[in-house]
Amino acid sequence: MDDDRRPPSPEPSEQSVPPDTPRSAAGQAGLAGVYQLMAQVLQQQQMMQLAAMPPAGTCYERFRRLNPPTFEGGPDPMAAEAWIREIEKMFRALLFPDEVKVQMATSMLTGNAEFWWTAMETAYAVDGLTWRDFKRLFYNQYFPDSVNQSKQNEFLALTQTDRMSVLEYANKFNELGRFCPQFMEEERSKVNQFEQGLRYGIRSRISSHLFSSYKDVLDRVLKVEADLIRSGREREDMKRTRLSGAQSSGSGGSKGSVPKKRQSRGCPTCGGNHKGTCMKKTGACYSCGQTGHIARNCPSRRKDEPRQTAPEDQRSRGNPRVFALTRQDASASDQLAFPDNYIAHLRN
């Protein structure tokens, strides 16, 4: 009875009915249609890219117009690295896709490099080789890791010398920096490495600044260098001015001062001051100027002239030409030139 009193259970609503099987199948079919549409869009994009890509022949013609360099191999690793840089520069100018870069680059290989690439084609599947993979194979052959490590060490040890300008240092910094991308790609690391290599006279003047970019620190040190050059020139000008002023005051002197008599150099043979040929050098007579005899035996001397005898204590010194020459002998002719020391001996 009690059961009869219970209110009847409500009929299940249409919303509470679980979806039937036909509805689930319709949803899956719609999702599959979306995937198919996306695939069609991607396929169309790929076809458009292929249509926009110039034919290989056209790429080669455009590439050769730029006169690309050839590479024949060789022992110089820097030549190999420079060749890759030149080829990549042309690729950027021509906007070449990655699919044709390997074909264009390998067409410029000659000599031993061409033989090497032929061996690579035989050993590896190079049809779908990317440019990055080609560079890896190329560097393994012509630019080994040992050379790259040496260039990295050179970059880390780079410093600005006294004879190196800021621009010269910056050029060398960027040249070697390509071997250390871990420093060059992050701006703060690049700035720190650049500052550490600067000359102390410049680095000390920017130590209190915090630079956010390489451009900022380069602009700053260029100004510092210009100031140092200008101040150095000013110091040199002041120094030259002081020196010229001191020379002017020293050479001017007081008014009425008599310049010192210029001392003449004596005869290199006898040491005396005379004009003409030195008689001691020619061996001529000091009395008449003729050769063949000396003054004491001169025939032109007066026979009645008393003979001058040297003192007793000077006879042993052995200079008869001096002791035999009298004061009258010295004044015998105005045309004769006598050294001063002979006149001094006569007066003594």
User: Which tens digits make up the pLDDT trace of 49-71?
Assistant: 544 555 556 888 999 999 999 99
Neighbour-count burial for 39-49, b at 16+ CB within 10 Å, e otherwise: eeeeeeeeeee
Please give the structure tokens belonging to residue 167. Answer: 């621009």
pLDDT at 343: 47
Q: Is the pLDDT of residue 168 over 90?
A: yes
- CA dihedral sign, ordered 23, 26, 32, 37: negative
Amino acid at 306: P
pLDDT at 14: 45
Rg (CA), the chain: 53
Residue 294's pLDDT band (cuts 50, 70, 90):
confident
206 — phi, psi (to 5°)? -120, 5
Tell me the sheet residues that pair with 343. Answer: none
Q: What is the pTM of this model?
A: 0.51
- H/E element, 246: helix 214-252
pLDDT at 308: 54
Q: How many residues does the chain have?
A: 348
CB neighbourhood size of 154 (10 A): 14
Dist CA 173 CA 164 (whole Å): 12
Please give the structure tokens belonging to residue 134. Answer: 């080609």
Q: Number of C-alpha atoms within 13 angstroms, CB side, residue 342? A: 27
- CA dihedral sign, ordered 113, 117, 119, 123: positive
Please give the structure tokens belonging to residue 138. Answer: 């190329």
Amino acid at 166: V
Q: What's the distance, CA 75 to chain centroid? A: 25
When comparing pLDDT for 16 and 77, which is higher?
77
- Please give the average per-residue pLDDT across 78-104, as a whole number: 93
User: Which tens digits make up the pLDDT trace of 225-256?
Assistant: 999 999 888 777 777 777 776 666 655 554 44
